[in-house]
């Protein structure tokens, strides 16, 4: 059977791991797709790629997605990612024991305007720090894969990171996990990773959008029931031990959403946070950001 080539966007090398497993398992091929993952580091950066057509379908976080859509960028949210809640983890170097001791310290995150930027602001603000005055924010972008190394060498004092970076840092004894974005009082009811498609692709080939989402859903369920394969892929993909990969899976999987659903109560919370933090000038309606008619037929919005 002939397959259609599709490039799936991701904002870091640590995203779309279940999609990568689905590619290995032949799930997207069953959908008639020759799918590959392309990383474009940074939320605003990948939003620009979706708008321009450099990449037409993929995933990234709701903060830069909402900001881009409010600015008129040409794509829509068509589904949710596995990391529906805010699966970003605030960690500090060994020896730093309180938020107050982070004053004047360097905190690494993916990039300015990225999810880790906005969620760092939320967490440190609720722990008594002014994110603009009390910490030095370090945008990492293409250095994001080196974040644990940067903490180990003292170039960073703390970081906002996704798995499996937390598990890697814990295994190497260089950082401690302090807080997850999905915990109360931070962002317990929040739609984080969204899957998006460019407006032109939606108009030109709606069946392809549906096929990608079906493949994403099947891949997520496959990963959840084949955690040995998931851990082995993570170990190869990131050059880590399988024990670190399993630690990351154990932390995240209980909070995963496997069905591409969008939390229609959590998405407005995401939008309201962007307004309150100054990401967007005026409130937006969540329903104006989405086109959910491509969700797999047995999936409904949460």
Q: What is the pLDDT of residue 248?
A: 97
Question: pLDDT tens across 7-31, in order?
Answer: 999 999 999 999 999 999 999 999 9
Between CA 73 and CA 70 the distance in angstroms is 7
Burial readout 241-264 (b: 16 or more C-beta within 10 A, e: otherwise): beebbbbbbebbeeebbbbbbbbb
Reported as type and span, the H/E element at residue 78 is strand 75-80
The pLDDT, as a whole number, for residue 301 is 59
pLDDT tens, residue by residue, 45-60? 999 999 999 999 999 9
pLDDT at 182: 95
CA within 13 Å, CB half, 88: 31
pLDDT for res 1: 63
Q: Which residues of the chain have pLDDT under 70?
A: 1, 298-302
pLDDT (0 to 100) of residue 2: 81
Residue 113's region, left for phi above 0, alpha for psi from -120 to 50, else beta, is left
Burial call 17-35: b when 16+ CB within 10 Å, e when fewer? bbbbbbbebebbeebebeb
**Predicted pLDDT of residue 241:** 96
pTM, entire model: 0.92
pLDDT at 297: 78
CATH superfamily for 89-180 is Periplasmic binding protein-like II (3.40.190.10)
Measured CA to CA, the distance from residue 114 to residue 67 in angstroms comes to 10
Domain with CATH 3.40.190.10 in the chain: 4-85+189-288, 89-180
- CATH superfamily, with its number, for domain 4-85+189-288: Periplasmic binding protein-like II (3.40.190.10)
Q: What is the pLDDT of residue 286?
A: 87
CA distance 78 to 252: 23
């Amino acid at each position: 059977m002939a397959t259609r080539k599709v490039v799936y966007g991701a904002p870091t090398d640590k995203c779309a791991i279940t999609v990568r497993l689905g590619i290995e398992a032949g799930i997207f091929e069953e959908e008639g797709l020759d799918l590959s993952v392309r990383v474009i580091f940074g939320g605003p950066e990948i939003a620009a790629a979706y708008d321009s057509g450099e990449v037409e379908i993929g995933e990234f976080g709701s903060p830069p997605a909402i900001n881009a859509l409010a600015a008129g960028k040409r794509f829509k949210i068509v589904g949710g990612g596995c990391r529906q809640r805010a699966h970003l983890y605030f960690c500090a170097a060994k020896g730093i024991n309180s938020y107050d001791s982070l004053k004047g310290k360097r905190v690494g995150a993916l990039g300015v305007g990225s999810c880790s930027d906005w969620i760092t602001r939320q967490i440190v603000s609720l722990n008594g720090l002014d994110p603009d005055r009390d910490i030095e924010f370090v945008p990492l972008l293409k250095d994001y894969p080196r974040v644990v190394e940067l903490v180990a060498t003292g170039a960073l004092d703390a970081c906002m990171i996704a798995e499996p970076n937390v598990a890697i840092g814990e295994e190497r004894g260089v950082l401690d996990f302090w807080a997850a974005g999905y915990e109360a009082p931070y962002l317990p009811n929040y739609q984080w990773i969204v899957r998006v498609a460019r407006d032109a692709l939606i108009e030109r080939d709606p069946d392809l959008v549906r096929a990608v989402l079906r493949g994403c859903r099947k891949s997520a369920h496959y990963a959840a029931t084949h955690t040995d394969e998931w851990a082995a892929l993570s170990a190869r993909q990131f050059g880590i031990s399988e024990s670190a990969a399993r630690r990351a899976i154990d932390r995240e999987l209980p909070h995963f959403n496997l069905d591409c659903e969008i939390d229609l109560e959590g998405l407005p919370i995401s939008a309201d946070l962007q307004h309150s933090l100054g990401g967007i000038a005026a409130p937006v309606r969540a329903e104006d950001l989405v086109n959910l008619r491509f969700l797999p037929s047995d999936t409904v919005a949460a």
